[in-house]
Structure 1
């Protein structure tokens, strides 16, 4: 298989010439695409549910002493920060801080789902490509030692080199493609963390102010 015509081949031909290692590479790419699409849809859905003004109104209700009103407002919202506040305020008799932390951890777990899988796929894809390079070069060296006919040996050598290059290129392409959604999802996770921390700090300030006023 002359390498000069590699890009003129169909995907099926490239897959065939890539050797057996293309099967696990295909599996990794399918897993990466599936998880990335699901996670991006999740992020867009959560972004659409964000209701920052409502969270601010809930905190204002808490500051005015109307905790039950704040809880009722939050129950009507699908905003993840509002859900955290509702859970924390509902269980504040036991420990407001612990309740807030528990609810925040549950929400952050929703945001971080799939990231370890994406990370594994991004790491595994170029390694599988490297493995394809090794197996392809092994086939090349085997052809060098076993070929008696010059034409047959040259064809086998080119096939081994082609297998090595295709597997490497596919592994790198999958890893590079996966980095885009992975970095976006990580950035959105950090942004969600900051939003939760802001709500936590605001609630803590309000509670401390209320306790100080009551102490007087």
Structure 2
């Protein structure tokens, strides 16, 4: 039995689950592309910025960040633009505010993915209940059930297949969510660590 057969026999709930599976897949693909360490906080670039800070020339660091478009470099540029008097404390405060906003952008879609993983099996269960209602509706007709076996089998198929389809959507979504969340947590740690490293190397400025 192929996927199209499962969907067609799952009724309205099957099409809802199909839509959710497409949304979940789109989120996963987008996050795989976005959550790449090489695009967020590459360690080599951070080491280069620390070396530039040793000359006590903030302008060199800003120019380097402008030439190298990474998330951490964008946060650092915006932090320096908004700290007023340059100091370790002011930089950390500005960096934290800006980083929190950018991290929220990275997290966009994760809540929806978790919701799909939670709701999909419940929708499958709902489809099962609706299918059972259909079955009992046929059986209530008494001998008509024997005369209408196709209607009875359709209800049984819908009752079973929606549960299967709900789990097919939920399990990969749940696994993907956990893997992506772990990756996101690591990137958040890398961003925070980079901010502390840069702040600690603001030599020659007020603390």
Give the TM-score range, shorter chain: 0.7 to 0.9
Q: Tell me if the contact between 2:83 and 2:94 (Cα under 8 Å) persists in the aligned partners.
A: yes
Q: Distance in 1 between matches of 2:40 and 2:20?
A: 32
Who is 1:198 aligned against? 193
2:67 equivalent to 1:72: no
2:143 equivalent to 1:151: no
Greater CA drift, 164-173 or 120-129 = 120-129
Q: Which runs of 5+ in 1 are unaligned?
A: 1-8
Q: Distance in 1 between matches of 2:190 and 2:121?
A: 35
Cα distance, 1:204–1:50 mapped onto 2, change above 3 Å: closer
Who is 2:182 aligned against? 187
Q: Which runs of 5+ in 2 are unaligned?
A: none
Who is 1:40 aligned against? 32
Greater CA drift, 153-162 or 81-90 = 153-162
1:29 to 21, 28, 33: 21
Name the SS for the 2:131 alignment partner.
Answer: helix
Which is richer in helix? 1
Who is 1:176 aligned against? 171
Q: Distance in 2 between matches of 1:66 and 1:184?
A: 40
Who is 1:114 aligned against? 109
Task: Count how many residue pairs are aligned between Structure 1 and Structure 2.
Answer: 203
Compute the displacement of 1:120 (Å): 1.6
> Any idea what the Cα deviations from partners look like across 1:23-52, whole Å, max 9, x if unmatched?
2112211211122222222224x6356532
What is the TM-score when the length of structure 1 is the normalising length? 0.82
Q: Distance in 1 between matches of 2:112 and 2:171?
A: 15
What is the TM-score when the length of structure 2 is the normalising length? 0.86
Q: Tell me if the contact between 2:75 and 2:95 (Cα under 8 Å) persists in the aligned partners.
A: yes
1:90 to 81, 88, 104: 81
Q: Tell me if the contact between 1:25 and 1:171 (Cα under 8 Å) persists in the aligned partners.
A: yes
RMSD over equivalenced CA pairs, Å? 2.3
Compute the displacement of 1:193 (Å): 0.9
Compute the displacement of 1:208 (Å): 7.5
2:100 to 100, 105, 112: 105
Who is 2:7 aligned against? 15
